[in-house]
Structure 1
Amino acid sequence: MLRIQQVKLPIDHNQEDLYIKAAESLKVKKEDIKSLSIFRKSIDARKKDEILFIYALDIELYNDIKISKRNTNVTVVEPFIYEVEATGEKLLNNRPVVVGSGPAGLFCALLLAEKGYSPIILERGKKVKERVKDIDKFWKDGTLSERSNIQFGEGGAGTFSDGKLNTLIKDRSKRGKKVLEEFVDAGAPDEITYLNKPHIGTDLLRNVLVNIRKKIISLGGTFRFEEQLTDIKIKDNSVYRIITESDIIDTDVLVLAIGHSARDTFEMLNDKVELKAKPFAIGVRIEHPQRMISESQYGNLAGHPKLGPADYKFVHKSKNGRSVYTFCMCPGGVVTASSSENNHVVTNGMSFHDRDLENGNAAIVVQINPEDFGGEENPLAGIEFQREYERKAFELGGSNYHAPVQLFKDFKEKRVSASFGEIYPTYRPGATFSNLWDCLPDYVCESLIEGITAFGKWLENFDRDDAVLTGVETRTSSPLRINRDDDLQSNIKGIYPCGEGSGYAGGIMSAAIDGLKVAEQIIKLYKPMNKKE
């Protein structure tokens, strides 16, 4: 197979144009092309009057040709194959247990099930259908379920997000391609396998998760929803049993894919496995008209159906030495109430697949280091740091899960806003004008002002006076890490920390990839359950 890079076409091109461009690059006739598929597709919007799509195309010809070494945009590539063999020799006395059904837990369980290990998946929250009802009720009237919310339930926190599938990590192992193809097989759009910034959207992602669950069950896996891990039993430095609220389960292998908000589980683990505080970030959600964002990025072509709504990603180093950056940008989406504990306010962002709502939003967050919260002495200190500002936001909002909001011009002046401009907050169940300096550290607020002002130089009107800031965003990543060694086990043998909550991922894709990595280590050590004899 041949891969052609840097194929540039105007946005109104058609499929025939791809074949013509590919033939020109290879110096063959269009009819010589047996098959053409898109490997990667991105947008080049550097020139607003000449926006282009840039492709990498995979081509199969009827006849072999000689490729000139001077043609650096054409290379020979092998077809994608993700295949791992179960080579382990150690006997499993009991079924492996995966705690958490977010992307890390799901893909770890999927590979284990495919290879005959019959995993048990524990999830403290509910199936996605029932979870949606609980979240809608919370957004409607502020009735929070601590067990079924944005953070807990089938699919993890990513279920109610933009469903972004881009990742900064390299994919030499082909794990990322495996994840994307599994999503497509489960009902996601084919385009996620080649778009430079793929996303599914929370509306489609819910059905995708159900189909992956059904596949795991068909391969021998068992899901146990509304069942929380409460204790781990250790003998001879190895796990041999776990306790849930309703059962005792013997197991040799325990995968901790618990998510970054499983605070009570971290507290239980603190005297059993090695935990270490790590950096994270906190800040606010910022909202602008999506039209403004798209016009700034795409000029007169904003709104073109082939371009879709524009996004952004910015980083700034503030004068105090801290990084301030945008995170989880949701074009045409909403700011979501994402609390998982009573009397705490937490924000996140969400988009549907079409990203067609009026506002675009993103987290703007500031780097927090272990020395800011005493993490050198106490690995759980970051959790208490997050809780402190979530409680303050709850009180500022009115102690009813309304979020504190402030216009950017008033935030700069530490003044409570009196009215909205052209932008209205999308957060439900409601918003309360407040001074966000009262629910964030001063150094975070100072960095936010500096960062938002800097971002206004890169995206016109980003720092507009009536931009709406909603507090607080605290769950950007886990505040701690569960240490693991080269074979991905913790200091207790048989316990495999996994995914974002354990400190080894930062989004849907990287978490799912880490789940596959952990499963690979398990099947490298243990025999499948159906091969004991």
Structure 2
Amino acid sequence: MIRINQIKLIHDENKFYDYDSINDVLKTKAAKILRISEGNIESFEIIRHSIDARKKPEIYHIYIVDVSLKNINESGVVKKCKNKDVSIIEPVRYVFPYDYQDIADKKDLRPVIIGAGPAGLFCGYVLAKHGFKPLILERGANVDKRTEIVEHFWKTGEIDETSNVQFGEGGAGTFSDGKLNTMVKDKDGRGRTALKIFVDNGAPKDILYDAKPHIGTDILRDVVKNMRNSIIEWGGEVRFESKVDGIELSMNGEVTGLKVGTEIIPCNEAVLAIGHSARDTFYMLKEKKVEMTPKPFAVGFRVEHPQALINFSQYGIASPKALGPAPYKLTTTTDSGRGVYSFCMCPGGFVVNASSEKGRLAVNGMSYSKRDSSNANSAIIITVDPKDFGSDDVLAGIEFQRKLEEKAYKAGNGKIPVEYYGNFKAAVSGKDDKQTVDDLLSQYEEDFNLKENTPSMRGDHVFANVHDILPDDLNNAFIQGMEKFGSMIKGYNSEYALVSGVESRTSSPVRIGRDENGQSVNVKGLFPCGEGAGYAGGIMSAAMDGMKIAEYVAERICKNEKK
């Protein structure tokens, strides 16, 4: 296989390439680089697409492609073209290592997966595809019913603590931007295979190569439903509104069953693919003495700016067409050593009420596939660790989150509390050290209508004292971060930037220990998995971890069958 790096195409705002047309363009360029005829190309695949805007407004599209040739020595072609961006590579091909159809004497007990978020769905998908017929138990509703429940909540404020933005088919990711980028290395090919599974179930093909792929909440809802239908078609089962209340253990501490209401479901392999918001489940695990440790996470606020301002900063174009709305990524360290960074940035998105408990309020970011909201939003979050939680209890992080969410709920009287950054900063400093906001309004801010910046939200909002939610040291860290980010993106620290809160569900507050076989270190047959267990931080990493745990589950089943 030949890999070609750095195929450059200059951006033309009047041209938009779909998946098939860009393949044709790049295949022609690849043949020219390799000095061969297009007819000699046997297979062609775009591996990555990124945007180079360092010389904006002159912008380039950068592609990496893989090519295999027919009836030609590939090493000879690479040597002859004398191009440092052309090399021979050995592609990684993901292979699921077990197939249950090959086991003659199969046992009756099937593996059970707790949770139908990305980790649980992908774990169930690959197990079902290879004959293991898993049962998936999800506390929330199926995606269609769940969507109705969430829309009702955003309109009325009446929360369903079982089905909401956090709980239900697809997990918290269903009501998000659907971002699929990850920092996890893909040495085993699980990541690319996961992207192909998304595409097989209705996602756009360009996620296979975009450097920052996303699906959008509207398309993602259909994708997870299609994955569920495939699981069922292959012999698996998915039960909704089926919350696991307990784990049944043998005398030697191995899983024998799961309690759902009054029913005990027998099983020897249970995948714990709960989300980071399954707080009652964490307490149940604590009672069962499942080994857990508190872990650092981050809390903060959602920050909104006009998307045009972000576009201009990133691309030099306020209203790009073919490029789409611009994303950004920001990170810094405060004088006190706390990390402050952007998280779950949503171009053309909405801030949403993502609460899951009565009397508590949390926010998240969401966008549809077109990303056509007038605002860009991102969480700007500050790192916290167990010394901030006020207790040595393993679940102290949960109570820390709850206290912040109670303050957010109180600040907005149940609605999303919003505050202009200028007012936030003045309140935290204890003095109004700025002139009137109008006096400080620059021409730049006027050009991008920052003064007219209004919230783009799902769920009622109200202007309130957002600065009352976090402790003083975290508020000061937030301000220090915002000021530094203002030197990276002009206008980012505008007085008119919108701040809403609280962003408290960035990752799990605990890690559930697991051994080299993917099982709990002290409960055999229990497989901690995904974001809630502390082994993932987004849709893609959770999906990849779900696939990894599926391999461990299959291995245990097959080994036990051969005994």
TM-score, normalised on structure 1? 0.95
State whether structure 2 residue 517 is matched by structure 1 residue 517.
Answer: no
Partners of 2:487 and 2:331 in 1: how far apart?
Answer: 12
State whether structure 2 residue 478 is matched by structure 1 residue 462.
Answer: no
Asked whether the 8 Å contact 2:40–2:72 carries over to 1, the reply is: no
* Inter-CA distance 35–239: structure 2 relative to 1 (3 Å threshold): closer
Q: 1:391 aligns with which of 393, 402, 406?
A: 406
Specify the SS of the correspondent of 1:405. Answer: strand
Give 1:295's aligned residue: 312
State whether structure 2 residue 419 is matched by structure 1 residue 402.
Answer: no
- Distance apart, 1:374 and its partner CA: 4.1
Which piece of structure 1 moves more, 403-412 or 146-155? 403-412
- Distance apart, 1:91 and its partner CA: 6.9
Give 1:313's aligned residue: 329
Give 1:85's aligned residue: 97
Asked whether the 8 Å contact 1:87–1:526 carries over to 2, the reply is: no
Give 2:241's aligned residue: 226
1:50-104 Cα distance to aligned partner (Å, 9 max, x none)? 2100000122333324122963322223455321232798975511110000000
Partners of 1:229 and 1:532 in 2: how far apart?
Answer: 30
Partners of 1:304 and 1:156 in 2: how far apart?
Answer: 32
Partners of 1:449 and 1:513 in 2: how far apart?
Answer: 35
* Inter-CA distance 528–156: structure 2 relative to 1 (3 Å threshold): farther
Partners of 2:206 and 2:281 in 1: how far apart?
Answer: 37
Partners of 1:450 and 1:304 in 2: how far apart?
Answer: 31
Specify the SS of the correspondent of 1:131. Answer: helix
- Distance apart, 1:20 and its partner CA: 3.9
Asked whether the 8 Å contact 1:91–1:526 carries over to 2, the reply is: no
- Distance apart, 1:115 and its partner CA: 1.9
1:114-148 Cα distance to aligned partner (Å, 9 max, x none)? 22211111000000000011111110010100011
Partners of 2:129 and 2:70 in 1: how far apart?
Answer: 35
Give 1:427's aligned residue: 457
Amino acid at match of 1:347: V
**Aligned ranges for residues 75-114 of structure 1 at < 5 Å?**
75-78=87-90, 81-86=93-98, 92=107, 94-114=109-129
State whether structure 2 residue 169 is matched by structure 1 residue 154.
Answer: yes
User: What's the Cα RMSD here?
Assistant: 2.2
Give 2:506's aligned residue: 476
Specify the SS of the correspondent of 1:413. Answer: helix
* Inter-CA distance 344–190: structure 2 relative to 1 (3 Å threshold): same
Partners of 1:139 and 1:230 in 2: how far apart?
Answer: 28
Specify the SS of the correspondent of 2:287. Answer: coil
**Aligned ranges for residues 319-358 of structure 1 at < 5 Å?**
319-358=335-374
State whether structure 2 residue 10 is matched by structure 1 residue 10.
Answer: yes
Partners of 1:528 and 1:333 in 2: how far apart?
Answer: 48
Asked whether the 8 Å contact 1:117–1:528 carries over to 2, the reply is: no
State whether structure 2 residue 477 is matched by structure 1 residue 447.
Answer: yes
State whether structure 2 residue 306 is matched by structure 1 residue 284.
Answer: no
Which piece of structure 1 moves more, 29-38 or 457-466? 29-38
Consecutive unaligned residues in structure 1, runs of 5 or more? none
- Distance apart, 1:31 and its partner CA: 4.5
1:169-226 Cα distance to aligned partner (Å, 9 max, x none)? 1111010111111110101001011111100000000000110000000111111100
- Distance apart, 1:358 and its partner CA: 0.5
Asked whether the 8 Å contact 1:92–1:252 carries over to 2, the reply is: no
Give 2:377's aligned residue: 361
1:469-527 Cα distance to aligned partner (Å, 9 max, x none)? 00100000000011111111101000000000000000000000000110101111212
State whether structure 2 residue 381 is matched by structure 1 residue 379.
Answer: no
Amino acid at match of 1:479: P
Amino acid at match of 1:475: R
* Inter-CA distance 511–294: structure 2 relative to 1 (3 Å threshold): same
Partners of 1:17 and 1:130 in 2: how far apart?
Answer: 43
Specify the SS of the correspondent of 2:281. Answer: helix
Which piece of structure 1 moves more, 19-28 or 282-291? 19-28
Specify the SS of the correspondent of 1:37. Answer: strand
Specify the SS of the correspondent of 2:427. Answer: coil
* Inter-CA distance 120–293: structure 2 relative to 1 (3 Å threshold): same
State whether structure 2 residue 236 is matched by structure 1 residue 215.
Answer: no
Partners of 2:203 and 2:459 in 1: how far apart?
Answer: 30
Specify the SS of the correspondent of 1:452. Answer: helix
- Distance apart, 1:422 and its partner CA: 1.3
Asked whether the 8 Å contact 1:115–1:528 carries over to 2, the reply is: no
Give 1:262's aligned residue: 278
Amino acid at match of 2:86: V
Specify the SS of the correspondent of 1:466. Answer: coil
Asked whether the 8 Å contact 1:161–1:201 carries over to 2, the reply is: yes
Count residues with an aligned counterpart. 528
1:316-355 Cα distance to aligned partner (Å, 9 max, x none)? 1001110000000000010000000001110000000010
Specify the SS of the correspondent of 1:310. Answer: coil
Give 1:249's aligned residue: 265
1:349-373 Cα distance to aligned partner (Å, 9 max, x none)? 0000010111110000000011111
Partners of 2:136 and 2:160 in 1: how far apart?
Answer: 21
- Distance apart, 1:432 and its partner CA: 2.3
Identity %: 48
Q: 2:537 aligns with which of 499, 506, 526?
A: 506
State whether structure 2 residue 192 is matched by structure 1 residue 177.
Answer: yes
Asked whether the 8 Å contact 1:227–1:246 carries over to 2, the reply is: no
Amino acid at match of 2:50: S
Amino acid at match of 1:68: K
* Inter-CA distance 449–76: structure 2 relative to 1 (3 Å threshold): same
Asked whether the 8 Å contact 1:330–1:350 carries over to 2, the reply is: yes
Specify the SS of the correspondent of 1:136. Answer: helix
Which piece of structure 1 moves more, 60-69 or 145-154? 60-69
Specify the SS of the correspondent of 1:169. Answer: coil
Asked whether the 8 Å contact 2:92–2:187 carries over to 1, the reply is: no
- Distance apart, 1:435 and its partner CA: 2.2
Partners of 2:349 and 2:544 in 1: how far apart?
Answer: 26
1:377-416 Cα distance to aligned partner (Å, 9 max, x none)? 2110000000001001101101xx2011111111111179
Partners of 1:35 and 1:249 in 2: how far apart?
Answer: 48
Between Structure 1 and Structure 2, the one with more helix by share is: 2
Consecutive unaligned residues in structure 2, runs of 5 or more? 16-20, 438-449
Asked whether the 8 Å contact 1:116–1:528 carries over to 2, the reply is: no
- Distance apart, 1:230 and its partner CA: 0.4
- Distance apart, 1:17 and its partner CA: 4.2
